[in-house]
Amino acid sequence: MEQQKLHSIDLKKIRIKDSFWSKHVNLVKDEIIPYQWDAMNDRIPGAEPSHCLDNFAIAAGRQTGEHYGAVFQDTDIAKWLEAVGFSLAANADSKLEETADEVIDLIAEAQQDDGYLDTYFIIKEPNRKWKNLCEGHELYTAGHMMEAAVAYYQGTGKEKFLNVVKKLADLLCETFGEEEGKIHAYPGHQEVEVGLIKLYYVTGERRYLDLAKYFIDARGVGENYFLRERKEPGYRNIFPELVDYQPTYSQSDRPVREQNAAEGHAVRAAYMYSAMAELAYEYQDQELMDACVRLWNNIVGKQMYITGGIGASGILERFTTDYDLPNDCNYSESCASIGLAMFGIRMANITRDAAYIDTVERALYNTVLAGIALDGKSFFYVNPLEVWPDNCMERTSKEHVKPVRQKWFGVACCPPNIARTLASMGQYIYSAGEAELYVNLFISNEAEIDLGSVSVQAEINTKFPFENEVEITVNHVPLDGMTLAVRIPQYARNYQVMTDGKAAAYCVEKGYALLTLDKDIRITVSFEAPAEYVRANPNVRADCGKAAVVRGPLVYCLEEIDNGKNLSELYVDTSREIEETDSELFGGIKKLTLKGKRIGEADWNEGELYGRHPLTLTDVTLQAIPYAYWNNRGMGEMTVWVRELV
Amino acid sequence: MEQQKLHSIDLKKIRIKDSFWSKHVNLVKDEIIPYQWDAMNDRIPGAEPSHCLDNFAIAAGRQTGEHYGAVFQDTDIAKWLEAVGFSLAANADSKLEETADEVIDLIAEAQQDDGYLDTYFIIKEPNRKWKNLCEGHELYTAGHMMEAAVAYYQGTGKEKFLNVVKKLADLLCETFGEEEGKIHAYPGHQEVEVGLIKLYYVTGERRYLDLAKYFIDARGVGENYFLRERKEPGYRNIFPELVDYQPTYSQSDRPVREQNAAEGHAVRAAYMYSAMAELAYEYQDQELMDACVRLWNNIVGKQMYITGGIGASGILERFTTDYDLPNDCNYSESCASIGLAMFGIRMANITRDAAYIDTVERALYNTVLAGIALDGKSFFYVNPLEVWPDNCMERTSKEHVKPVRQKWFGVACCPPNIARTLASMGQYIYSAGEAELYVNLFISNEAEIDLGSVSVQAEINTKFPFENEVEITVNHVPLDGMTLAVRIPQYARNYQVMTDGKAAAYCVEKGYALLTLDKDIRITVSFEAPAEYVRANPNVRADCGKAAVVRGPLVYCLEEIDNGKNLSELYVDTSREIEETDSELFGGIKKLTLKGKRIGEADWNEGELYGRHPLTLTDVTLQAIPYAYWNNRGMGEMTVWVRELV
């Protein structure tokens, strides 16, 4: 950590206009924000009620009534406001801003004099504040409020919401910590750490950072707080699945520095690791950094789906064990992949190592995009890699797997989380240093980027990921020069950087091509990343004997609509070429054509389950589409991994 | 149903002395009955407490204290007594009988004056009797008491226990039924129907049969009783998984005659179908019989594992959908396979169709035997076809799958259920008619069998299933002749019946070789049933591209101890011969040697999860053992289905 950490760019100063991403990014302002606003106002027919705004109105004393919804229902509003903040940074919208300001007024009114802000406890259990840290989600909710307020402040410059969360954060600083008289505890669902750190970055108030560090340092040390808390009189178990609580669920079974493998609830883990990375840097805590590296390597090397999904178990939405990656009953929550991207970009900014971005890109281009329909109106929480709709039945071991995207959920974490991620893609595209501009992702945009005290203009033009040529322009290069670092993706072959018609000089460091600029420049980066078959480490039992098709960052899949029923009958012939063709599907993709065989059913009679019939194979031609776009053409089977002919 | 139903033989008059089965059957008296006795007395270190006898002592007023255990805890004692009854039929044991008599005295003392008998409600909720039929298990417990009492009566001739359950059954007749003033309801867990029918068979009291019929006829008709019951004041939900109750779980969503596919909890279903079959016969109810046939065909043709396991979902231990047969996360409860055998033998006795026995045999020789360790001291509830111990973790989607057999369980249904099944194998070996003796299973024994008013002596000598020659002797053939029907298993090829050195004349009817006997006879039945590869219907997604090895009724499996770690890396070459060798393992088996290939790991670095490494295959020789015996040599991976080379 000798180098200075890279930082995200100002989202107000980037305009994304990308052939691949813009249709998704635009959904945020055009569809998701209005849709989520309707959802929070309970105006979506057939969707579970949110009651979120009513809860705040009741807490504010504007209306009477009961709290409705989960203990973390307030986060609906926080995540909406965060997306609005990011969206307003990119696109001014006075009407939206006015609506958001009104919501913020409501939140401010609901906040109590001491800074407390959680409508569930204000309305329903005012005497139980901070008494159920394990399940009550007060600190989780506070963290999302902080993230939202920071985004809104950065997007609009308005401080009202920021002041609300500062007051809340001040209350947390008074309430939690190692000093006598404070509660010696840590959050049941990590998230406030990330929020406090962001709040520190915009306010400079060191105590917020210190509190985040306290939460991380205290976690899992000594007697488990949550187990102790449950024994207190009045403790009420909220979530049935947590009746018999095990600290591994919340990564609190041991000190974070002693954790070697990702375990427990995947979203909790990823949010915590994100905070750990930033704290490691801020406090130059190598031991903490080592833990981050170990945990990252465990996830990426042993517990991650090829789509960037994490969390193999449907029960408790959790990590299980190394190489346990079942394809049809996994959880792989959209939020967990967002958490992985959050963790990864922080690690990349600290280490300047492009390997982290390879995984960030994998998560964003596959699981995160698959989490939202192309019309922006329905969402996956669970992201299986193989779906047979018939057996995604309620009250079975596959009940968590939904074969079609769902409308707004009761537990509405994923939809707004996807929205805020899409609305803040700029943070992933570039990272900036004092005199270095890092290009992480190949997404067309125009940006003005602060490098130390100067500001450069950057522009990317590309049709990536379907074409692998990226034009990068940097203007206003400072007189004393700068470094342009362009990522070399792990899948790129014959990587070339051209300028003025000739090869540009660069050196390679940790997966980036480093160019020294002393004047404005336009470069063209090109590489080959043809569609190809990949295999999984044979320790991944579920994928043994199978292959998947990838093309650059995109994982492809087979859908029933293109390939008929029963995709399990298929084999791919990995020795044959994969054919790429342009298709107008999904706003324009490269569709892939594979050669393979299909097991015949002709010998089998209805109701004949086992027998000696020979295996009969017929030649078939298969069509694959990006996993990001599956289930946009009705319900049907889907698979990423296909058995290969040997 | 024009023909008279076949009946079971008198278990007192059969002695099993079989090279394959005796070691299992003997476990009942030598190990399981004493072990379960210790378990019921809470004398097994490390096992969950039963408290079962204490509950009865408290209910009887012999001691004070609280009820402990599940609502159905009484059935531990019932199932133990049932096994004791069967065991005493086979082997007199005055000490055991004395102990059992004392337990029966205790049960009789615990019974209330009106006949009521359920210690949970007597002790704990005396005002809630019959008010939670959905979850309270009172009728389920009553059914097990009836089955036990009948077995004990048949094994010992003693009537005390029988009188206890008659009094209980009389109470049920007064309490339930369509008449005004009675409760118009049906059991939440079917079982009492089977018990009432058995009680009718030994007592001739028609009202018991009629009540069983009422329970079946009323089920699922009109407003669901369980949903109504839950709305009554004071209703208390007992099982968390049943909070949001769905009638399909207990096959009460529609009238039984309208049910076409097996659904819901597999044990409930199989017990109900067993009763339905007998009622269909007793009332000559063709519509009910048609439902039985449909449900049987659905199970056997679309929802049954090759091992005779049923119930694909870990959650709610239930049937899911046609062809949904995952191998590594299934439930396939031992009790459910016992229920399937119960259903099958009843169907076979009614229809005289050997196809039912093919499935009974499949369940008994594979799942039921696998349910118990060779030492009789540990048990599987869940019977997966593929196990990777590392990921059978608590609090994950595979938490129900245990990689090793467990000691006595809190919910102790499977161990005593296996015990009573082993102790009553005689009912499966033969079926008897007025002048017909059916040989269903090839198990060495000597028996005296009543055919109408005469009695014949039968003897079977065989080393089946490892050798396919069966010597059957029938002496005391009545003067007016009789029919000997010997099953022709579906897997038998070149089936031959020899007598006195020459081929015997027989005709084939519904899978039985029918021989007309006019004098005593000794025949030798022989057939070929070599080890062979079978495949699953390609609609079974989980088995596509895979093969399993069977040999006669035995399904084989690969274990880690013989074949190394990571069985998913293996392929079998189904074009190569399977080699059979005698082995001393497990008391003597035919071990099978298969040829195949293994995927190499050499190209893969630690922490490298996905990549372009080629698929490398090396030749391997694999060892397979009967599934019945897996996990008798320590914990390790196991699989039944193996990918085949194509």
pLDDT tens column, A576-627: 999 999 999 999 999 999 999 999 999 999 999 999 999 999 999 999 999 9
Q: Is residue A400 part of a domain?
A: no
Does pLDDT of B199 surpass 80? yes
Where does the pLDDT of residue A636 fall: very low under 50, low under 70, confident under 90, or very high at 90 and above? very high
**Radius of gyration of chain A measured on its C-alpha atoms:** 25
Q: Is residue B32 part of a domain?
A: no
Q: Which regions of B476-567 does DSSP assign to beta strands (E)? A: 482-487, 493-499, 502-503, 507-509, 512-517, 521-528, 532-536, 546-551, 554-559
Q: Are B79 and B208 members of one domain? A: yes
Among A396, A533, A544, the residue with its CB nearest the CB of B569 is: A544
Nearest C-alpha of chain A: how many angstroms from B297? 7
CB A383 within 8 A of CB A312: no
CB A269 within 8 A of CB A319: yes
Q: Is residue A395 part of a domain?
A: no
Q: Is residue B71 part of a domain?
A: yes
Q: Are B83 and B181 members of one domain? A: yes
Where does the pLDDT of residue A286 fall: very low under 50, low under 70, confident under 90, or very high at 90 and above? very high
CB A418 within 8 A of CB A368: yes
Asked if the Cβ–Cβ distance from B397 to A534 is below 8 Å, we say no
pLDDT cut 70: percent of chain A above it: 99
Q: Which residues of B touch A574 (CB under 8 A)?
A: 615
Q: Is residue A354 part of a domain?
A: no
Q: Are B66 and B199 members of one domain? A: yes
Structural domain including A590 reads 533-644
* Non-local CB neighbours of B147 within 8 Å, separated by 6+ positions: B78, B82, B194, B195, B198
- Alpha carbon distances (Å) from A346 to A279, A293, A333, A600, B635: 10, 12, 20, 50, 42
From the CB of residue A559, how many other CB atoms can be counted at a distance below 10 Å? 23
Q: Which of B494, B528, B562 lies at the terminal end of a domain, its last residue?
A: B528
Q: Is residue B566 part of a domain?
A: yes
Q: Are B445 and B538 members of one domain? A: no
Number of domains in chain A: 3
Asked if the Cβ–Cβ distance from A566 to B548 is below 8 Å, we say no
CB B504 within 8 A of CB B523: yes
Where does the pLDDT of residue B408 fall: very low under 50, low under 70, confident under 90, or very high at 90 and above? low
User: Measured in Å, how far apart are chain A's first and last C-alpha atoms?
Assistant: 47
Q: What is the mean pLDDT of residues A445-463?
A: 96
pLDDT on residue A305: 98
| Closest-approach residue (CA) in chain A for B545 | A569
For all residues of chain A together, what is the average pLDDT?
96
Asked if the Cβ–Cβ distance from A568 to B643 is below 8 Å, we say no
pLDDT in tens, B482-524: 999 999 999 999 999 999 999 999 999 999 999 999 999 999 9
CB B604 within 8 A of CB A302: no
CA distance A544 to A534: 12
- Cis before B49? omega within 30: no
pLDDT cut 90: percent of chain B above it: 94
Query: Which residue has tokens 């698979």?
Result: A639
Q: What is the ipTM for the molecules in this complex?
A: 0.95
Provide the H-helix boundaries in B352-450. 354-362, 369-370, 414-423, 426-429
Let me know the angle formed at the C-alpha of A329 by A323 and A333, rounded to the nearest 5 degrees: 85
Query: Is the dihedral angle over the CA atoms A463, A464, A468, A474 positive or is it negative?
Result: positive
From the CB of residue B587, how many other CB atoms can be counted at a distance below 10 Å? 12
pLDDT in tens, B119-136: 999 999 999 999 999 999
| Closest-approach residue (CA) in chain B for A567 | B541
pLDDT on residue A414: 85
For all residues of chain B together, what is the average pLDDT?
96
Where does the pLDDT of residue A90 fall: very low under 50, low under 70, confident under 90, or very high at 90 and above? very high
Where does the pLDDT of residue B409 fall: very low under 50, low under 70, confident under 90, or very high at 90 and above? low
Query: Is the dihedral angle over the CA atoms B606, B609, B614, B618 positive or is it negative?
Result: positive
Among B548, B609, B611, the residue with its CB nearest the CB of A304 is: B609
Q: Is residue B327 part of a domain?
A: no
Residue A300 DSSP label? I
* Non-local CB neighbours of B393 within 8 Å, separated by 6+ positions: A313, A320, A321, B399
Q: Are B497 and B603 members of one domain? A: no
Question: Number of H helices and number of E strands within chain B?
Answer: 19, 25
CA distance A559 to A306: 17
- Alpha carbon distances (Å) from B204 to B139, B152, B161, B190, B201: 21, 17, 17, 22, 6
CB B560 within 8 A of CB B547: no
Where does the pLDDT of residue B47 fall: very low under 50, low under 70, confident under 90, or very high at 90 and above? confident
- Among A250, A397, A639, the strongest candidate for a mutation testing the B interface, having the largest count of B CBs within 10 A, is A397
Does pLDDT of A411 surpass 70? no
Q: Which regions of B110-160 does DSSP assign to beta strands (E)? A: none
Nearest C-alpha of chain A: how many angstroms from B371? 22
Asked if the Cβ–Cβ distance from B610 to A566 is below 8 Å, we say no
Q: Which of A216, A240, A260 lies at the terminal end of a domain, its last residue?
A: A216
Q: Are A442 and A466 members of one domain? A: yes
Residue B190 — φ and ψ, nearest 5°?
-60, 140
CA distance A215 to A274: 13
Q: Is residue A17 part of a domain?
A: no
pLDDT on residue B45: 82
pLDDT on residue B429: 98
Residue B223 DSSP label? S
Out of A413, A436, A560, A644, the active site residue is A413
Paired tokens of B596: 């195949």
Asked if the Cβ–Cβ distance from B300 to A607 is below 8 Å, we say yes
**Residues β-bridged to residue B472:** B460, B523
- Alpha carbon distances (Å) from A169 to A76, A102, A111, A147, A563: 19, 22, 12, 12, 54
Residue A48 — φ and ψ, nearest 5°?
-65, 140
Q: Is A413 a catalytic residue?
A: yes
Q: Are A106 and A135 members of one domain? A: yes
Paired tokens of A384: 């299986």
pLDDT on residue A408: 67
- Cis before B326? omega within 30: no
Q: Are B62 and B208 members of one domain? A: yes
CB B173 within 8 A of CB B207: yes
Q: Which of B459, B493, B528 lies at the terminal end of a domain, its last residue?
A: B528
| Rounded (10°) angle between helices A160-175 and A206-218 | 50
Q: Which of B137, B117, B73 is nearest to B409 (CA)?
A: B73
| Closest-approach residue (CA) in chain A for B324 | A391
CA distance B133 to B189: 8
From the CB of residue B14, how many other CB atoms can be counted at a distance below 10 Å? 22
pLDDT on residue A409: 59
- Residue A284 CA, distance from chain mean position: 26
* Non-local CB neighbours of B5 within 8 Å, separated by 6+ positions: B281, B349, B350
Where does the pLDDT of residue B43 fall: very low under 50, low under 70, confident under 90, or very high at 90 and above? confident
Q: Are A502 and A584 members of one domain? A: no
Q: Where residue B461 sits, what CATH number does that domain have?
A: 2.60.40
Burial code (b: 16+ CB inside 10 Å, e: under 16) for A137-157 equals bbbbbbbbbbbbbbbbbbbbe
Does pLDDT of B3 surpass 90? no
Does pLDDT of A412 surpass 80? no
Q: Are A634 and A575 members of one domain? A: yes
Q: Are A538 and A522 members of one domain? A: no
Where does the pLDDT of residue A133 fall: very low under 50, low under 70, confident under 90, or very high at 90 and above? very high
Q: Is A317 a catalytic residue?
A: yes
Asked if the Cβ–Cβ distance from B566 to A541 is below 8 Å, we say yes
- Among B318, B333, B395, B608, the strongest candidate for a mutation testing the A interface, having the largest count of A CBs within 10 A, is B395
pLDDT in tens, B299-329: 999 999 999 999 999 999 999 999 999 999 9
pLDDT on residue B50: 84
Paired tokens of B615: 């698929």
Q: Are B495 and B589 members of one domain? A: no
